[in-house]
Amino acid sequence: GESVGLHLPTLSVQEGDNSIINCAYSNSASDYFIWYKQESGKGPQFIIDIRSNMDKRQGQRVTVLLNKTVKHLSLQIAATQPGDSAVYFCAENRYQGAQKLVFGQGTRLTINP
């Protein structure tokens, strides 16, 4: 089915280290990408987004990088904290008759003390 792919389903890092979560997308016409964080028992929560005319965007402790040449997206989390433990999804904004977000499978990030 349609999906935005992720390289790794799980990622474990030490508290305080930086985390990098990767995502590959297939539709070169997609113009907008979003990273969501989903904690257990909750709905996805917006983290950061990037438009296709940009290659980098920074937020608070998070940075998203977009490489359109290889259709790759990454989320960098600096100085990870226990509260960063969650599943992270990238989503791709596609137009297929109407705009809709297509989500990847997700990467589970675990922070080790």
Partner 1 sequence: DSGVTQTPKHLITATGQRVTLRCSPRSGDLSVYWYQQSLDQGLQFLIQYYNGEERAKGNILERFSAQQFPDLHSELNLSSLELGDSALYFCASSAAPGRERDGYTFGSGTRLTVV
The yes or no reply on residue 96 touching partner 1 (CB under 8 A) is yes
Other C-beta atoms closer than 10 Å to the C-beta of 25 total 21
Locus of tokens 């998203």: 64
The footprint of partner 1 on this chain (CB under 8 A) covers a number of residues equal to 26
- Binding residue (CB under 8 A) for partner 1 from 104, 109, 111, 112: 104
Residue 71 contacts by C-beta under 8 Å, 6 or more apart in sequence? Answer: 24, 25, 26, 28
Considering only residues 14, 58, 67, 99, which one is a binding residue for partner 1 as defined by CB under 8 A? 99
- For residue 92 the two structure tokens come to 């791709």
User: What is the closest distance, in whole angstroms, from the C-beta atom of residue 7 to partner 1 in the complex?
Assistant: 14
Q: Is residue 28 a contact point for partner 1 (CB under 8 A)?
A: no
